[in-house]
Structure 1
Amino acid sequence: MWAKWRRLEREGWRWAGRRYSKWGDPGETEFEVLKGHPKAKEDAVAARLRRRQMIGDDKGKKMKEFQIYRWNPNSDRKPFLQSFFVDLSDSGTMVLDVLQKIKGEQDSSLSYRRSCREGICGSCAMNIDGLNNLACLKPINTNLSQPCTITPLPHFFVIKDLVVDLSNFYQQYKSIEPWLKRKKDAEENEREYRQSPKERKKLDGLYECILCACCSGACPEYWWNPESFLGPASLIQAYRWISDSRDEYAAERLQAMTEDRDKLHGCRRVGNCTANCPKSLDPERAIEIMKQEHLYPSIIRPLHTQLAV
């Protein structure tokens, strides 16, 4: 048996897929939907074999413990961690796959948000093993001796289980007016506000924010002053519009954020926002640039192009 597996590793998974398809190995013949598509079937079989090596043989269950935060507002029971055991050999590779499996097979009352499953919508943001992340992008730690702990985003009011109240978060986002503002219309016969490639490049690292709230949930200043400090997510979005060459209200936007000192200058540069961003953005740097531009406008604004994130 081990000699067989060593041969599979040595000669490659594609060869293994071709051979297993011909041998009709039990468990590898269920790809009926790919009948008539040998190349696709070969890839599917190879993927199954890779999965076998990573998790173990399908005949041997690989059970991993997932400790999930539970709280029901309609119950008198205090919040607690409930353990679920999932067979990783019969599950997807991401944490969201496990949550879906638990909800579908073990406890249908488990509540959480999810939508796109591609790291675009930001719905499935939660705290996984101590770090804020998107469940659809977080791979499962296959070390069976370590339980995986899943809790809601920290310091948000919990509605139920892993669902948190983001009303204040979205209200703060609305307050920065996240849309293009112009003092004059586009020139006649033009349907677009044109932008050079160099100007467009200044938006890289800003527009990718999906408002998942992972950064705001990790920010100590946002924990302490959620009503006055806008939080890193809203602030990086504000800087996205300040940096946009098509927007003509950059100075007014910055002035509005600094009328209340804590809205922008409440940031203490802890850096948790950048460390917890699942899209690898840098809200801390964007906030610091806006603070410098407010305090030293005659120096920073002429250098805005070089300092843009």
Structure 2
Amino acid sequence: MPDTITLQVARYRPDTDAAPTMQEYVVPLRQEWAVLDGLNYIKDQLDGTLSFRWSCRMGICGSCGMTVDGDPALTCGTFLADYAPGPVRVEPLANFPVIRDLVVGIDDFMRKLPKVKPWLVREDEPGVADVEFLQTPPQLDEYQQYSMCINCMLCYAACPVYAIEPDFLGPAAIALAQRYNLDSRDQGAHQRMDVLATAEGVWACTYVGECTSACPKGVDPAGAIQRYKLTAATRTLRSFLPRGER
């Protein structure tokens, strides 16, 4: 294995640059180094003007998502040795506006997320501060997979529908809605239906499945969307039945 590897990094400052450009940096190639380590080496040793996000380095915060050789990935869990001898192309996540270099704006996601009410909704209690709602292990299993989302936005970067339909709620928002719809403590599924069962919600999804392939936590947002399509269709059909048979 060579001692170094070249990173081709996207540089872009929208206020001064007409278009993104690629800049090459040679960094040490070590077996244990992730792409994020290479970027930090550039920042610390070669070019302090490079901008990118990161926080935990443990695949938990979701902030270091970027496009690595064409694929959305968490750079803290993507290792340089897997791309040897290189070069490795590092770009910002697709489908988001670039703020600077590798930093993208996620305002659209933050605006859409509250629409699906990703929190426990209770209608039979004035509050839950002093109430304990017990769950069985099978009840936890119903939604636990969808609760693993870390809002890394990789699924949005991979989604071809979001790329052409900016009004689409998107995979992560819908998966998080399902996380609460399937929670035995929640009573807000009917409130979320008005948002989810729409042309901008689950019906926009064409089931390409790239969101699930890109997810680093195995959330399976594509599965969540298809599962909710069945729920929405079933509830619509039941609405045509006589009231006593619904």
SS in 2 for 1:296: helix
Does structure 1 residue 296 correspond to structure 2 residue 230?
A: no
Does structure 1 residue 76 correspond to structure 2 residue 14?
A: no
SS in 2 for 1:202: helix
1:136 corresponds to which residue? 76
Cα displacement (A) at 1:251:
2.1
The match for 1:245 among 180, 184, 188 is: 184
1:198 corresponds to which residue? 138
Residues 1:198 and 1:63: Cα distance change in structure 2 (over 3 Å): same
- Aligned counterparts of 1:188 and 1:78: Cα–Cα separation in 2: 51
Task: Indicate if the aligned counterparts of 1:65 and 1:144 stay in contact, CA closer than 8 A.
Answer: no
Equivalences for residues 57-96 of structure 1 within 5 A: 62-89=3-30, 92-96=32-36
Which runs of at least 4 in structure 1 moved beyond 4 Å after TM superposition?
186-190
Higher RCO (Cα < 8 Å, 6 or more apart): 2
Residues 1:189 and 1:114: Cα distance change in structure 2 (over 3 Å): closer
SS in 1 for 2:39: helix
Unaligned runs of 5+ in 2: 239-246
SS in 1 for 2:138: helix
Does structure 1 residue 269 correspond to structure 2 residue 210?
A: no
Residue type at the aligned position of 1:248: Q
Residue type at the aligned position of 2:115: S
Cα displacement (A) at 1:73:
2.4
Cα displacement (A) at 1:253:
1.3
SS in 2 for 1:68: strand
Task: Indicate if the aligned counterparts of 2:68 and 2:91 stay in contact, CA closer than 8 A.
Answer: yes
Cα displacement (A) at 1:220:
0.6
SS in 1 for 2:7: strand
The match for 1:117 among 46, 49, 57 is: 57
* Higher mean C-alpha displacement, 126-135 vs 182-191: 182-191
Task: Indicate if the aligned counterparts of 2:92 and 2:104 stay in contact, CA closer than 8 A.
Answer: yes
- The Cα offsets for residues 165-201 of structure 1, whole Å up to 9 and x where unpaired, read as 1000111112111111101228999631221211111
Cα displacement (A) at 1:135:
0.7
The match for 1:214 among 142, 150, 154 is: 154
Does structure 1 residue 155 correspond to structure 2 residue 95?
A: yes
SS in 2 for 1:114: coil
TM-score after normalising by structure 1: 0.72
Task: Indicate if the aligned counterparts of 2:29 and 2:81 stay in contact, CA closer than 8 A.
Answer: no
SS in 2 for 1:205: helix
SS in 2 for 1:81: strand
- The Cα offsets for residues 21-73 of structure 1, whole Å up to 9 and x where unpaired, read as xxxxxxxxxxxxxxxxxxxxxxxxxxxxxxxxxx5xxxxx7121110111012
- Aligned counterparts of 2:118 and 2:76: Cα–Cα separation in 1: 26
SS in 2 for 1:83: strand
* Higher mean C-alpha displacement, 151-160 vs 135-144: 135-144
Residue type at the aligned position of 2:168: F
- The Cα offsets for residues 260-296 of structure 1, whole Å up to 9 and x where unpaired, read as 3222200000111011111122111110010111012
Sequence identity (%): 36
- Aligned counterparts of 1:187 and 1:168: Cα–Cα separation in 2: 30
Cα displacement (A) at 1:256:
3.0
Task: Indicate if the aligned counterparts of 1:195 and 1:245 stay in contact, CA closer than 8 A.
Answer: yes
Cα displacement (A) at 1:298:
8.2
1:97 corresponds to which residue? 37
Unaligned runs of 5+ in 1: 1-54, 56-60, 301-309
- Aligned counterparts of 2:29 and 2:88: Cα–Cα separation in 1: 12
Aligned-residue CA RMSD (Å): 2.3
